[in-house]
Structure 1
Amino acid sequence: MIQPSRPRRRPMADINVVPYIDVTLVLLIIFMVTAPLLQNGVDVDLPQAEANPVAVEPETPPVIVTVTADGSCHLDWEGAPEVVSPESLLVKVTAILRHKPKTQVLVAGDSTVAYGKVVEIMAALRQAGVSKVGLLTRPPTP
C-alpha cells in the first residue's frame, strides 16, 4: 500500500518578532520605573542665603562639585557622585568641558566646611578652564 505523499513544508524565511517586542516592552517598563529611583547625591548641609535660582539648560546637565563637612570632594555629572581629589577634579572637569564646553559648574559646600577648602576647589576649577562657578545654597527658612 502506497501512502499518499504529504506536501513538504518549506522553511519559513520570516523572523517572528512578537517575542522580541514583548521583551522590549517589559524592559521599557522596568527602566521607566527604576529611572526615578536612581537619583543619587551627597548629603550636605548647604548654607542658607537669599539668591536667584540659576538657569540650568536641560540638554546639558551641570557638573556639581560637592565639598562635604569632612573636606572630601565629590564630582557629580550624569551619574552617581564619585569621590575625587583636587588633582583628579582638574583632569575630569577639563575633559568634560572639552567634550561639552557650555556645561555649567556648580559648587555645593557644606555650611560647616572651612572656607579655604571651598576656595581650593574653586581654584582647581579655574585651572580646569571654568570661567563661571555657581554656588549652591538653600533658601532661608522663614
Structure 2
Amino acid sequence: MAISSAALDGDEETPMSDINTTPLVDVMLVLLIIFLIAIPVVLETVPVRLPEVQYEPTITKPENVNLSVRGSDGGGCEVYWGLTQVNSEELLDRAVSKLEEAIEAAGGVENITEENMPEAHIRGDIDTPYKCIGGAIFTMQRAGFARVGFISEPPAGTTVARR
C-alpha cells in the first residue's frame, strides 16, 4: 500500500488529505444497477379486477336460515340458529332437515329452483376468528345449501335505495 504525496513550493513532501472517491462511486453505481434491475421484478403483480363493494338490502324470505357466529372466551366458537345456540352436529342436522322440508314443500327435487331454495345468512361478530365463520360456511355447504351469504352493516352515512 502506498501513500501519495504532493510537493509544495519546497523540497518537502506532505501527504495528501483528499479522499479517493473512485471506489465509492464504483460501489454506488453497482448498487444502482442492482436496484434498477430488482425493483421492477418486485413490483410486478398479477393484474386482477377487484369487485366494487355495494351494499344491497337483503330480502329476507321466511325459509332462509339466519345464523349468528361469535368467538367465545376460551377460543371456541358459538353458533346460533336464530336465537338458539347449536353445536356443529346440531347445525348440520337442522340444516339437512330444513333442506328436506324445502324439497318436500316444492314437490320434489325436480321442482327446486334458485328462487324457492333456502339461503343461509351468516352474521359474524367483528372479533370472531375466521375458523368460526369458515366452520359455519363449511357445515352449511356440507348440508346442501348452495347459497351462503353474509349480513353486514353498511358504513355510517350511506343510504341504500330499496327496490
Counterpart mapping for 1:1-142 below 5 A: 50-57=54-61, 60-70=62-72, 71-76=77-82, 81-101=83-103, 102-142=117-157
What percent of counterpart residues are identical? 19
Residue 66 of structure 1 aligns to which amino acid in structure 2?
A: S
Q: Which has the larger radius of gyration?
A: 2
Q: Normalising to structure 2: TM-score of the pair?
A: 0.50
* Structure 2 unaligned residues grouped into runs of 5+: 1-52, 104-116, 158-163
Q: Normalising to structure 1: TM-score of the pair?
A: 0.57
- How far residue 88 of structure 1 moved from its aligned partner, in angstroms, is 1.1
What is the aligned residue count?
88
Structure 2 distance, partners of 1:61, 1:132, is 13
Structure 1 distance, partners of 2:138, 2:58, is 21
Q: Is the 8 A contact 2:70 2:132 kept in 1?
A: no
Q: Is the 8 A contact 2:99 2:118 kept in 1?
A: yes
Structure 1 distance, partners of 2:63, 2:155, is 25
* Structure 1 unaligned residues grouped into runs of 5+: 1-48
